[in-house]
Amino acid sequence: MGLFDRKICNICGSKIGLFGNRKLQDGNLCKNCASKLSPWFSDRRSSTVDEIRAQLEYREKNQQLVNAFNITRIMGGEEGRVLLDEGAGMFMVSTGSSAKAGNPDVLKFSQITGCEVVIEEEEDEIMREVKDSEGKTTQESYNPPRFNYSYDFDVIIYVNTPYFNEMKFQINSDTVEIEGTKEGGSTPIKLDSISTKKDLVDTILKAAADTKKRNAEYLKYETMANEIKDTLLELRDKSLAEEEILNESN
């Protein structure tokens, strides 16, 4: 009993090391067995030993699907990509260094329930240093204010599986940074149209948006993300229609 009372993994039976325990609803799981679970699975604490055992059996069968997976098309960026086996009507999401690393879950197109592109934006004002009348250095806004915008591009695929319902991954490896200034605007700013603070803010935001649209990196990842979404939804619709025809002819 006490501090040195080592727990036993309910799946493989091995002794669990200090800090190595992964608690289940009705038992314990070792680090090694936990690493074999799906990377998209997040309900471990509320899962029973039997549920985990069933998932690990599914994961072993999945490895065979990965080995047999014939990549016909790859979409996405350096960080996360979607691999298609169009002949088998299946896809997987790979976030590892090599396409098939880590036993990625192989799913049917018909298991897709939705897909979404999320572009995460962060805004930081760029300040300049000025000396006041007493010679002290302070920071102040540029006129008009300048901003550094940073963007990450995420794709969320919603799926129907017993173990997880969402696959969210980022496709870009480096955050895309864009400086937004009024010079970036494609439409010349008419100073006489700016009479209130709100006019000024609207003008700057519009200029920043125009800068964004012309930034090659931004466009590249936005196009990639939308390609994944449009292609997956199209393949899903096609395979559901085919399944319906099969069901009707039976």
Residue range at the interface with Zn ion (CB under 5 A); choices 33-41, 73-81, 156-164, 182-190: 33-41
- The reply to whether 8 sits near Zn ion by the rule CB under 5 A is no
Report the nearest approach of Zn ion to the CB of residue 97 (Å): 26
Report the nearest approach of Zn ion to the CB of residue 228 (Å): 35
DSSP the chain: --TT---B-TTT-PBPPTT--EEETTEEE-HHHHTTS-TT---GGG--HHHHHHHHHHHHHHHHHHHH----EEEE-SS-EEEEETTTTEEEEE-SSSTTTT-PPPEEGGGEEEEEEEEEEEEEEEEEEEE-TTS-EEEEEEEEEEEEEEEEEEEEEEE--SS-SEEEEE--SSPEEEEE-GGG-SSPP-GGG--SHHHHHHHHHHHHHHHHHH-HHHHHHHHHHHHHHHHHHHHHHHHHHHHHHHHHH-
Report the nearest approach of Zn ion to the CB of residue 62 (Å): 18
- The reply to whether 34 sits near Zn ion by the rule CB under 5 A is no
Residue 30 or residue 112: which is nearer to Zn ion going by CB? 30
**From 24, 30, 84, 92, residue interacting with Zn ion (rule: CB under 5 A):** 30
- The reply to whether 204 sits near Zn ion by the rule CB under 5 A is no
- The reply to whether 33 sits near Zn ion by the rule CB under 5 A is yes
Report the nearest approach of Zn ion to the CB of residue 54 (Å): 15
Report the nearest approach of Zn ion to the CB of residue 34 (Å): 8
Residue 145 main-chain phi, psi, to 5 deg: -60, 145
- The reply to whether 12 sits near Zn ion by the rule CB under 5 A is yes
Residue 12 or residue 118: which is nearer to Zn ion going by CB? 12
Residue 12 or residue 74: which is nearer to Zn ion going by CB? 12
- The reply to whether 11 sits near Zn ion by the rule CB under 5 A is yes
Report the nearest approach of Zn ion to the CB of residue 36 (Å): 9
**List of residues contacting Zn ion (CB under 5 A):** 9, 11-12, 30, 33
